[in-house]
A and B are shown apart, each in its own frame.
Chain A
Amino acid sequence: MSAETAPRPGRPEVGAAPAGSVAAEPALLVEAPILVEAEDLEIVLPSGDGVGPWTGTVRAGEEILLLGPSGAGKSTLLLALAGAVPSHLRATVRGTLRVAGGDPVRGGVLALADHIGYLGQDPVSGVCLPGVEDEIALPLENRGVAPSRIGERIEAALAAADAGPLREREAHSLSGGQLQRVALAAATVAGPSLLLLDEPTSMLDADGVAAVRASIGQAVARPGVASVLVEHRLDEWAGERGIDGLPPRTLALDRSGRVLADGPTAEVLQRHGQELAAAGCWLPRDVEARLAREAGGQGADADRAGTDTDPAPGSGAEVLLRARGLALGHGERTVLSGVDLDLVAGQVLAIVGRNGAGKSTLLGGLARLDAPLTGTVEGAAAGLVFQRPEAQFVGQSVRSELADTGAAPERREQMLDELDLRDWAEASPYRLSGGQKRRLALGAMLLRERPVLLADEPDFGLDHAAHRTVRDLLRRVADEGRAVALTTHDLRVVAAADAVVVITDGTAQPPRPPGELLADRDLLRRAGLVSEPAGPRELAPAGAAAEPSAARDLSAAQPHAASAAPIEAPSDAASRTGVGPRRWLARANPAVLLGVLTALSVVCLFLARPAPLLGLYLALALAVMATTRIGPLALVRAQLPFTIFAAGVFCVNALSRPGRELWPELPVRVTEEGVVMGAALALRALVIGLGALAVARATDPRSTMISLQQQARLPARYAIALLAGRRLLDELPGRWRTLQRAHRVRLPLRPDGTVPTLGPRRLLTCAFSLLVDAIRSAERIALALETRGLRDGPRTVYRPVGLSRADAVVVAVCAAVTTAVLAVL
């Protein structure tokens, strides 16, 4: 375990790594300063799982692969190195750990933020702020870098991560691969000496993996930068170069988190491959092949069991579900057309294609969640398991999750054993591990006894052991006579299927034997299963439209997710490029506008007569039309919600205030006092509402938060956290719709085979799932913001929002008009 003395093969050159660093390497390594020093470091989580004890060092410039099955504590160890244990992850830490001369256990994330760059697996919460440029500026602002120098450093960091053209983009318009590169740029812009990479490519397709891999390669190749990488998909990571494409040193953990080996990667894989594979760890394909040969061909061949033995697709077996001339899409947009597909009893069909090609859309169509634009789906009922099993959970416990299916109690108990979840029967489904959750979601769908089972990326993010379990389960389901269709990015899953459908160019090609696809390099590329050799695709202007937003499961089926957001997305571009005459009011400072609106609101509170309020309302309406370029009709329409409210206020007052009755002959009492007071109160609501509308139109969230920070002394942590909340808000409509779809497929089908809509109780369950998901996001966002050094101390602001003459004009005009109106009326 003497890592520091381990002989180390030359650093692999990646991408445009500076050539000098390679030549200087061996000599440099001996002298390289120690960056991380651990002695008997052991971390134990409250659940009893733990990692360590580890004694070892990481020297500047070293690249380390952290290998181990799920539950071995790889992420926990990375978090500890980042200073996030116990401040973000509650755990007991024994032994000592020094990182860059500091104590991460006592000091926390902030104490190390200058030295650490952290990149997690979820692209959506890795980019915290709505705008890409602000995201990269944040770590520099937090370190007090002069604003004049921030611009060029953003440029350099984005260029190094192959994300240069994304600078002006908004985060929610980016694909997963793009988001990860932006997150990488944010993690590296301040020049960290230790990069911690926790499965940075696990949520990407082959092209995304290749692009992120190349960018990370450049980042870790910088002189003096050390990195620790956790990665399941070693083959994709290593690319064509096999084991040489992996980090030169490997730290391997066993199932319990004990250190199994620490040394040169090739040597560790050679010596401990057997143990690691047995523990359920993914290994590079050639290592697995070697192990299989050594084991005499048994066991490892499960991967290719399907290919040779099974009959060719469609050879006389019973067709359970038949799609003909199917066209699917959302609203105006057609995603797939001309799809003819049979799902056959006893077969496992793999569906492959790039992210955004329409795989999930196809499954939604086959499950009859979405009505086809044209064409038909006929045949047996289909169950659908979503990519994120959590999206489908409804029960308080594993047992109640299964009970919700309506299956007979004996059958449920039997399923509990089949899924190997008996020990967890009373636990919340959210507490299960990734593999257990997948099994539970599959099991709950199987209990519905639908002849067709559809699964969206059932292999997603699982370690080898869990992967095998899920695959065996699906195979058994098919063998029992059901038809199984699944989407995947994994060549091994393709190999094990009976037939494979490739989705390219907006349609599904006819099923073919997996062997045929695996032999066709070009088709593999077009299916997104292996990466394009070409340069970065984002340079193409169509990149934005072609690539789906990052939350694949969450919004893949709803590319226009944000359009249903409570408010329209603010046009950041407008505030950035300088505002033309179109919206003069947008020149004003948001904090000043909010201040003026507050003052106006308070004045209104003291007015109880309709006349001055009407005067104020008319003056304000004219001013709003003139300074925000909104037409009278649009203004009326925008005020509709609070006009209705104001009308209600008027009616209630007219009817509920004692006083002189205006029309005694009416069955209800309408008083003069009530009408006057009602009119005043209704106008009060209208004036304030109109002011709020004007401020909303003239400001955008970013400049408002910066301005509140600068002019209203809102602490930076709160302002930035609020902006991160704004970014999350963009994601919520898409997540919400995915949750609804995931819950709908759990309901009993209508007689015509379609899926019903959700009742109030199910909607509340969806709301709860949304909350759980959002809290998980909050934890990741908080960690990302803290590793970027966000604190309340002194900081700079890259693009400040200052005060201008417009502000003086706004204040003066508002004061003068209000005074005049009050004096005259």
Chain B
Amino acid sequence: MSAADRQPLALRDIVLIVVLGVVFGFLYWVFVQAWNALAIAMGPAGDLAQHVLAGSWLLVAPVAVAITRRPGSGVIAEILAAIVEVVFLGSPVGPLLLISALLQGVGSELPFALTRYRRFTWGTFLLSGALGAGLVFFWSALRFGWFGQDILLLRLGVQVLSGIVLGGLLAKVLVDALARTGVLDNFALGADRRPGDAGDRGADAAPVRRVR
């Protein structure tokens, strides 16, 4: 695996990551309509309500890492998703979103990198969500002037919790569900899981030809 590790992302990994960014961007737009109405109804507290969903911005990174299992894939996933947001969806955050994306990506990918992209357990995903949310928090606080507010710690708590649930654990639920469908069989994740029968291991062993 070591030789493959040094290669840049394959085109199919890049396209997959872009597509994840596009679909998540689209779905976020679909689902957040309702949430935004709620946030507006909550008035000043709506700002906090947004934090509850903050973790969902992290989702693409752990999903990309778990599927492609390549160094840098989480960071690249966040950056490509940010480009999709800024260039295609006209995000009012502007290019500064790229800096947020970079920090989110680094935070989210770090736990996987520490396991050398070999362990994809609940714990790794949890840590990924927590770090992803935690690292970018300080940059967000600078951008939005949260320092000096009474509710700084409350914000941090809500965001990290959201990161753990929506940006970490949900990613594992999603990746496992996708793997079951077989659409990931031809990505790195599929090499580690034998398609069809979950218990069967050892993808490199030649399969037995089936004759009908």
A contacts, CB < 8 Å to B: 42, 44-50, 71, 87-90, 92, 255-256, 396, 427-428, 430-431, 566-567, 594, 597-598, 601-602, 605, 608, 641-642, 644-645, 648-649, 651-653, 655-658, 677, 680-681, 684-685, 688-689, 691-693, 695-696, 699, 701, 704-705, 717-718, 721-722, 724-726, 728-729, 732-733, 736, 763, 767-768, 770-772, 774-779, 781-783, 785-786, 790-792
B contact face: mostly helix, strand, loop, or mixed: helix
Closest to B16 in A: A778
Q: How far is the CB of A709 from chain B (nearest CB, A)?
A: 12
Judge if B121 is at the interface, Cβ distance under 8 Å. no
Q: Is B207 an interface residue (CB 8 A)?
A: yes
Task: Indicate whether A775 sits within 8 Å of B16 (C-beta atoms), given known contacts A48-B207, A704-B87, A786-B11.
Answer: yes
User: Interface centre among B17, B47, B87, B91, by most A CB within 10 Å?
Assistant: B87
- Separation in Å of the B174 CB from the closest CB of chain A? 8
Contacting residues, chain B, for A725 (C-beta < 8 A): 15, 18-19, 21-22, 84, 88
Is A692 in contact with B92, judged by CB distance below 8 angstroms?
yes
With A653-B145, A725-B19 in contact, is A658–B11 under 8 Å at CB? no
Tell me if B210 and A651 are in contact (CB < 8 A). Answer: no
Chain B residues positioned under 8 Å from A92 (CB to CB): 206-207
Given A688-B94, A718-B80: A775 and B178 within 8 A (CB)? yes
- Smallest beta-carbon distance B27→chain A, Å: 5
Q: Which residues of B contact A656 (CB under 8 A)?
A: 149-151
Please indicate the chain B residues that have their CB under 8 angstroms from the CB of A50 in the complex.
209-210
Is the pair A767, B182 in contact by a Cβ cutoff of 8 Å?
no
Q: Which residue of B lies closest to A45 (CB)?
A: B207
Among B22, B84, B143, residue most surrounded by chain A Cβ atoms (within 10 Å): B22
Residues of A within 8 A of B11 (CB): 717, 721, 782, 785-786, 790-791
Q: Residues of A contacting B151 with CB < 8 Å?
A: 652, 656
Contacting pair B23 A732 (CB below 8 A): yes
Tell me if A677 and B210 are in contact (CB < 8 A). Answer: no
- Does B26 sit within 8 A of A, measured CB to CB? yes
CB-CB under 8 A for A728 and B22, given A601-B96, A696-B90: yes
Interface pair A724/B94, CB less than 8 Å apart = no
- Cα–Cα distance between A292 and B47 once the two chains are bound (Å): 73
Closest 6 CB pairs of A and B: A48-B210, A689-B92, A430-B181, A782-B12, A651-B44, A696-B90
Q: Which A residue sits closest to B87, measured CB to CB? A: A704
- Bound-complex Cα distance A70 to B198 (A): 25
- Answer yes or no: B29 CB below 8 A from chain A CBs: yes
A sample of 25 cross-chain residue pairs with beta-carbon separation below 8 angstroms, ordered by A number, consists of: A45-B207, A46-B203, A47-B207, A48-B207, A49-B210, A89-B186, A430-B183, A566-B29, A598-B96, A642-B92, A652-B48, A653-B145, A657-B148, A692-B90, A693-B92, A699-B87, A705-B87, A724-B18, A729-B22, A736-B30, A768-B177, A770-B23, A775-B16, A778-B18, A781-B19
B196 within 8 A of A: yes
A771 adjacent to B23 (CB under 8 Å): yes
CA distance A143 to B192 in the complex (A): 36
Q: Classify the interface of chain A: helix, strand, loop or mixed.
A: helix
CA of A255 to CA of B150 in the docked complex: distance in angstroms? 71
8 A Cβ contacts from B69-124 to A: 80, 83-84, 86-96
Residues of chain A with a CB closer than 8 A to B181's CB = 428, 430-431, 772
Q: Please tell me if the beta carbons of B14 and A652 are within 8 angstroms of each other in the complex.
A: no
Interface residues of B in 17-48 (CB under 8 A from A): 17-23, 25-27, 29-31, 39-40, 43-44, 46-48
- Residues from chain A with a CB closer than 8 A to the CB of B83 are 722
| CB–CB A775/B84 < 8 A | no
Which residue from B16, B144, B190, B207 sits with its C-beta under 8 Å from A649?
B144
Q: Which A residues lie within 8 Å of B87 (CB)? A: 699, 701, 704-705, 722
> If A648-B44, A688-B93, A704-B87 touch, does A782 touch B15 (CB 8 Å cutoff)?
yes
A732-B26 contact given A567-B89, A644-B40, CB 8 Å threshold: yes
Residues of A within 8 A of B22 (CB): 725-726, 728-729, 732, 774
Looking across the interface, which residue of chain A has its beta carbon closest to that of B183?
A775
Distance A767 CA – B23 CA, assembled complex (angstroms): 9
A651-B44, A693-B92 are known; give 12 further A-B pairs, CB within 8 A: A47-B195, A47-B210, A48-B207, A88-B186, A396-B180, A431-B196, A689-B93, A717-B14, A718-B14, A771-B23, A774-B19, A782-B15
Measured in the bound complex, the distance between the Cα atoms of B209 and A108 in whole Å is 23
* Identity of the chain B residue whose Cβ is nearest the Cβ of A590 in the assembled complex: B87
Q: From residue B135, how far is it (CB to closest CB) to chain A in Å?
A: 18
Chain A residue numbers with a CB within 8 Å of B86 are: 594, 692
In the complex, A381 Cα to B185 Cα: how many Å? Answer: 39
CB atoms of B178 and A772 under 8 A apart: yes
Closest to B182 in A: A431
Which residues on the A side are within 8 Å of B208 (C-beta)? Answer: 48
Chain A's closest residue to B67 (CB) is: A775
| A137 CB → nearest B CB, Å | 18
Is A657 within 8 A of B196, CB to CB?
no
Give the most central of B15, B20, B184, B194: most A CB within 10 Å.
Answer: B15
- Could you tell me the distance in whole angstroms from the C-beta of B17 to the nearest C-beta in chain A? 8
The residues of A that contact B29 with a CB separation of less than 8 Å are 566
Contact with A along B196-212 (1 / 0, CB 8 A): 10000001001111111
Bound together, the chains give a CA A785 to CA B196 distance in angstroms of 29
Question: In the complex, A649→B145 CA distance in Å?
Answer: 9
Q: How far is the CB of B44 from chain A (nearest CB, A)?
A: 4
CB neighbours (8 Å) of A567 from chain B are 88-90
Closest to B181 in A: A430
CB-based contact A648/B46 at 8 Å:
yes
Identity of the chain A residue whose Cβ is nearest the Cβ of B8 in the assembled complex: A792
Docked complex Cα distance between A777 and B91 (Å): 25
Q: Please, which residues of chain B bring their CB within 8 A of the CB of A696?
A: 90
Residues from chain A with a CB closer than 8 A to the CB of B91 are 692
- Using CB atoms, name the residue of chain B closest to A43: B209
Q: Check if A597 sits within 8 Å of B95, measured CB to CB.
A: yes
Question: Which residues of the other chain, A, contact B8 by a CB distance below 8 angstroms?
Answer: 792
Could you tell me if A681 and B144 are in contact, using CB atoms closer than 8 angstroms? yes
* CB contact under 8 A between A692 and B94, given known A656-B149, A724-B18: yes
CA distance A598 to B99 in the complex (A): 11
Contacts of B195 on A, CB cut-off 8 Å? 46-47, 431
**Taking the nearest CB of chain B, how far is it from the CB of A40, in angstroms?**
13
B residues near A681, Cβ cutoff 8 Å: 144-145
Contacts of A785 in B (CB 8 A): 11, 15
Name the A residues within 8 Å of B18 (CB-CB): 721-722, 724-725, 778
Residue in contact with A601 in the complex, picked from B40, B46, B95, B148, CB distance below 8 Å: B95
From A47, A50, A701, A776, residue with most partner B Cβ within 10 Å:
A47
Q: Which of B89, B92, B207 contacts A688 (CB 8 A)?
A: B92
Q: For the complex, is B10 an interface residue (Cβ under 8 Å from A)?
A: yes
Closest to B194 in A: A46
Which of B19, B89, B96 is close to A728, meaning CB atoms less than 8 Å apart?
A: B19
- Flag whether B142 is at the interface (Cβ < 8 A): yes
CB distance from A401 to the nearest CB of B (A): 12
Query: Please, which residues of chain B bring their CB within 8 A of the CB of A46?
Result: 185, 194-196, 203, 207
Known contacts A648-B46, A782-B12; A430/B182 CB under 8 A: yes
* Bound Cα distance A255, B211 (Å): 8
Q: In the complex, A692→B90 CA distance in Å? A: 7
- Give the residues in chain A near B80, CB-CB below 8 Å: 718, 721-722
B19-A775 in contact (CB<8A):
yes
